[in-house]
Amino acid sequence: MSAPIKVPKGLYGVAVTETRIAKSDADGSLIYRGYPIADLAAHATFEEAAWLIIKGTLPTRGELDEFISSIGSRMEVSAKVYAVMRDLGRDSHPIDVLRTGISALGSVDSEPTVALQQASIEAKMSVLAANCHRVPRGSGPRGPKPAARFGANLLQMLTDREASEYEEWVFERVLMMYLEHDLNASSFTVRVVASTRADPYAAAAAGLAALKGPLHGGANEAAMDMLLEVRGPDNASAYVMSALKDGKKVMGFGHRVYKKLDPRAQLCKGYLRELLKKQGTDDSLYRLCDALENEMWERKKLPANLDFYAAPLMYSLGIEIPLYTPVFAASRVFGWMAHYDEQVAEDRLIRPDATYVGPTGLKYSPPGSG
Ligand code: COA
């Protein structure tokens, strides 16, 4: 074998595979299967976008109806899975509970084919996401409403309240933004697992493990905690100055691909302004976000990312903060399964090399007495 190719740390700027699913670009654009995200957000439903991601084309009316009923018919989760989640106890973080729930699902689900296993995971991820905070705290699981839309159903299970039509529409847009993002850390993780020919449950559990970190999916919860800490737009400048001086990362800013603008963040920013107006709420949360965004751009030339604006949207929709990353997962699972399929079709084990820089030539000696 010839000498291994050396690549930058974090695989910065390295294209490791080909994909037809989505493409984010440094210029601030994002396409899903060729369609700009803004076009889909303006015109499509979540189910249409999810179908597009997993199947590659927009659905016909018949395919869409079938997809909606297929998701609805697979949402019921076994009591055995809830029992495992309940046993984890009230102090466990919801994203850990969700990951454990998906692992347990892999043991109890009896779907015979990969396609049916994927359909089961996609449908149940949202129900498990809605219940991963409640169940370990001793509450009974909330079930989906039959025949309700995916987004409206999830929002209802998360908040147990009737949302307005606009609130449901906005939540669907948040889910649509989270659906897919080419080779992000969790999708890459899913592809590594898929390349070993492990089943989709294992791949989804691995995706959830990668999603937990605050540099990836966990950033939405961290961003909301920060917004609550900063409190008002007048404190934005002092907060940013002090965080940067202390070498801290300001959560919800920066991106591996987008260096000027994250198109999803800008769409969500518009939804936040409109949502607060329609709810008749004071717009100080919007003004705080805007002030932080301006400060970060002025001082560090870092743009706000999706998590920065998805967080206050979910907050304004009444979703508890520890559920933000599980919500991300309930949507991203469709992207993960599309990557799973692409990787399986490629059928090539992902196994990179590493340059060994440790010691050599050491000789074993048994443990001494000292
Ligand atoms: N706050 C403060 N400084 C930040 C920052 C942030 N949110 N994001 C990046 N930086 C700084 C880095 O410290 C680095 O500074 P330096 O050149 O002085 O060392 C510089 O900006 C480049 O950042 P880098 O970490 O190399 O970029 P990356 O492409 O590897 O990382 C993220 C991208 C997303 C991991 C990074 O921006 C980050 O940690 N953001 C906060 C977490 C977050 O919001 N994640 C969700 C992503 S969608």
Give tens-digit pLDDT for 211-270. 999 999 999 999 999 999 999 999 999 999 999 999 999 999 999 999 999 999 999 999
Q: Which of 274, 102, 60 is nearest to 186 (CA)?
A: 102
The catalytic residue among 182, 262, 307, 341 is 307
pLDDT tier, 153 (very low <50, low <70, confident <90, very high otherwise): very high
Other residues' Cβ atoms within 10 Å of the Cβ of residue 45: 18
Active site includes 216?
yes
Q: Does residue 184's CB lie within 6 angstroms of at least one atom of ligand 1? A: no
Q: Does residue 241's CB lie within 6 angstroms of at least one atom of ligand 1? A: no
Predicted pLDDT of residue 368: 86
Domain extents in the chain: 35-212+323-346, 219-316
pLDDT at 75 over 90: yes
Structure tokens at 257: 């691909």
pLDDT tier, 338 (very low <50, low <70, confident <90, very high otherwise): very high
Share above pLDDT 90 across residues of the chain, in percent, rounded to a whole number: 97
pLDDT at 1 over 70: no
pLDDT at 70 over 70: yes
The catalytic residue among 255, 262, 339, 341 is 255
Mean pLDDT (the chain) is: 96
In terms of CATH, what superfamily is 219-316? Cytochrome P450-Terp, domain 2 (1.10.230.10)
Q: Which of 253, 309, 325 to mutate to test the pocket of ligand 1 (most atoms within 8 A of CB)?
A: 253
What pLDDT, in 10s, does the model give residues 115-140?
999 999 999 999 999 999 999 999 99
Three state DSSP letters for the chain: CCCCCCCCHHHCCCCCCCCCCEEEECCCEEEECCEEHHHHHHHCCHHHHHHHHHHCCCCCHHHHHHHHHHHHHCCCCCHHHHHHHHHCCCCCCHHHHHHHHHHHHHHHCCCCCHHHHHHHHHHHHHHHHHHCCCHHHCCCCCCCCCCCCHHHHHHHHHHCCCCCHHHHHHHHHHHHHHCCCCCCHHHHHHHHHHHCCCCHHHHHHHHHHHHCCCCCCCHHHHHHHHHHHHCCHHHHHHHHHHHHHCCCCCCCECCCCCCCCCHHHHHHHHHHHHHHHHHCCCCHHHHHHHHHHHHHHHHHCCCECHHHHHHHHHHHCCCCHHHHHHHHHHHHHHHHHHHHHHHHHHCCCCCCCCCCCCCCCCCCCCCCCC
pLDDT at 38 over 90: yes
Q: Does residue 11's CB lie within 6 angstroms of at least one atom of ligand 1? A: no
When computed from its CA atoms, the radius of gyration of the chain, rounded to whole angstroms, is 22
Q: How far is the CA of 331 from the centre of ligand 1 (A)?
A: 24
Mean pLDDT of 344-351: 97
Q: Whose CA is nearest to atom 9 of ligand 1?
A: 254
Q: How far is the CA of 250 from the centre of ligand 1 (A)?
A: 8
Predicted pLDDT of residue 63: 98
The position carrying tokens 């933000």 is: 324
pLDDT tier, 147 (very low <50, low <70, confident <90, very high otherwise): confident
Which atom in ligand 1 lies closest to the alpha carbon of residue 254?
37
CATH of 35-212+323-346, one of 1.10.3210.10, 1.10.580.10, 3.40.50.1100, 3.40.190.10: 1.10.580.10
Q: Whose CA is nearest to atom 1 of ligand 1?
A: 249
Predicted pLDDT of residue 3: 85
pLDDT tier, 176 (very low <50, low <70, confident <90, very high otherwise): very high
Q: Which of 178, 249, 306, 309 to mutate to test the pocket of ligand 1 (most atoms within 8 A of CB)?
A: 249
Q: Whose CA is nearest to atom 26 of ligand 1?
A: 256
Predicted pLDDT of residue 335: 98
Active site includes 307?
yes
Q: Does residue 182's CB lie within 6 angstroms of at least one atom of ligand 1? A: no
pLDDT at 83 over 80: yes
Poorest-pLDDT segment among 1-5, 29-33, 155-159: 1-5
- The Cα–Cα gap between 363 and 370 comes to 18
pLDDT at 370 over 80: no
Q: Which of 256, 257, 289, 308 to mutate to test the pocket of ligand 1 (most atoms within 8 A of CB)?
A: 256
